[in-house]
Structure formats: structure tokens, C-alpha cells
Amino acid sequence: TCGMDVLTHALEAHTSALQNEYSDAIAMGSIKLVAEYLPKLMGDLSNMVFRQKMQLASHMAGVAFNISQLGLVHGVGHPLSALLNQAHGQTLATMLPHVMEYNMPVRAEKYAEVAKAFRVYDSNLSTEANARKAIKAIADLSIQVGTARSIREMGGSEKDIPVLVEQALTDLSGLTNPRPATREAVTNMYMAAMDNKELYPSSKL
């Protein structure tokens, strides 16, 4: 789960309401490293070069979010980790596509940049279409590294949503999300992450 944690740190720093050119440059550098080396590392866990690249990506992501802070992925991920006793990186990976979808109206251009880092960018497509390619590339990476797990697969159910929503709305990470989070939006994110055969193909629906 650590690799998806690194990616989320960098991605949220890149799209935070407080981002600037300095944090963006560092965050995108981290995202590019993760996009290239996390898949390679998963195929060769003993490779010290790949491990070093991911350590560098982790450090850069930390520097970036220390400047621009985080966002709603952490805001909705923290309650899941606490309630379901799941790893931090796991719950971030579960919620990341849903928060990206929510932020699309205000961050499509930045997500399109992420598509370039993942080498799925198509100059013939619109900014929004490329942003969605970034979301898919990240979802595919989560499947590849084994973090594509639904809330139900982690032991949660619909009855947990009211508690999760209350905790998410008080999490300070959400304050720097580029799009303010409403109760309805957070509820919908948790509902969407409950089951989804495309995002979480191993989940038993």
C-alpha cells in the first residue's frame, strides 16, 4: 500500500487549493517516478534501484504536501482506516478515484498533466477526456499493486456510512481540497466505493 500512499500524497499536493508552482514541480516529479517505477518494483521487489526511486518519490511527495497540504482523499480515507482497521495507503487507494471524479470540475487540467506522467495522454482528446484517462490509469495501477479493494471487501457496509461521513467532514485534510466537500458528496463517495466491479474487480458483488 505504500506506493499508492506516495502517489496520493503527491497527487493531492498537486491539486490542493494551496498548490503553487514550487509544490507542483516537486509533486509532479514524484508522480512521474511512481508511474514509472512502482509497476517495475512490483515485478522485482528485490531491485534496489527501483526501491531507491520509490524512496525518492516518497520524500518528494512529503516535501510537496508540506508546502501545499493535502485534500479530501485523506479526509475520507482516515475514517475508513480507523473504523475498519485498514492500512492508510489501502484506504487512500480505495477512495482516490472517487475523489478525483468529484474534483474533476475544478482540476481536470491538472489531472490531464497526470495522464502525461502515466503516458496515457492523447493530444487528440479533450482536457476532460485526458483527465479521465489519468483516473483510469491510477485505478489500473491500484489493481496491479493489489490495493483495489472496496469498502465492503475491507469489512464495511452501508450502516457504517453515517459515522464515516461525520468523521470525514471534521477531518482537517478536507479543508484544502480544491472543491469544498458537502455532506451529500462525501456520502456519495462512500456509497460509490462500497462496490464497483470495474475499480475493484476482486470484490464479490
**Predicted confidence (pLDDT) at residue 39 exceeds the cutoff of 90:** yes
- Tell me the angle at which helices 88-117 and 183-192 cross, rounded to the nearest 10 degrees: 90
Please state, in angstroms and rounded to a whole number, the distance separating the CA atoms of residues 89 and 150: 13
Mean pLDDT score, 110-137? 97
**Contact present, 156 and 85 (Cβ < 8 Å):** no
* Residue 38: burial class (beta carbons within 10 Å; 0-12, 13-18, 19+): buried
- Cell 458528496, residue located: 185
* Residue 190: burial class (beta carbons within 10 Å; 0-12, 13-18, 19+): buried
**Contact present, 156 and 131 (Cβ < 8 Å):** no
- Tell me the angle at which helices 72-84 and 183-192 cross, rounded to the nearest 10 degrees: 60
pLDDT band at 205 (very low <50, low <70, confident <90, very high): very low
Task: Please give the mean pLDDT across all residues of the chain.
Answer: 95
Closest CA to 112 of 145, 92, 144, 137: 137
pLDDT tens profile 145-184: 999 999 999 999 999 999 999 999 999 999 999 999 999 9
In this predicted structure, what is the pLDDT of residue 2?
84
Please state, in angstroms and rounded to a whole number, the distance separating the CA atoms of residues 187 and 204: 22
- pTM (predicted TM-score): 0.94
Question: Between vectors from CA 197 to CA 179 and to CA 57, what angle results, nearest 5°?
Answer: 55
Closest CA to 150 of 105, 86, 100, 101: 86
Three-state secondary structure of 62-76: HHHHHHHCCCHHHHH
pLDDT band at 203 (very low <50, low <70, confident <90, very high): low
Mean pLDDT score, 55-66? 97
